[in-house]
Amino acid sequence: MTDKKPRIPTIDEMRAQFDADSIMKAATPRRGRGAAWERVLESVVARLGSE
């Protein structure tokens, strides 16, 4: 028997799945820990680009 390993998604597939708009919509908390969460999400969006 051969064990099939899961295929690793390509960068383009990841960008299509996690576009900047969906990442920012997921950022619902705004106070306390939410402020730090916003900074994390902004850095992720910056790394992914404006696509």
Q: Where are the domains of the chain?
A: 11-48
Question: Around Cβ 43, how many Cβ atoms within 10 Å?
Answer: 10
Alpha-helix runs per DSSP H in 1-51: 11-17, 20-25, 33-48
CB distance 45 to 13 below 8 Å: no
The CA distance from 15 to 21, in Å, is: 11
Q: What is the pLDDT of residues 2-49, one digit of tens each?
A: 678 888 878 888 777 776 667 776 665 556 666 777 788 888 888 887
In this prediction, residue 40 carries a pLDDT of: 84
Q: Say what the pLDDT of residue 42 is.
A: 83
CA 13 to chain centre: 12
pLDDT (0 to 100) of residue 30: 58
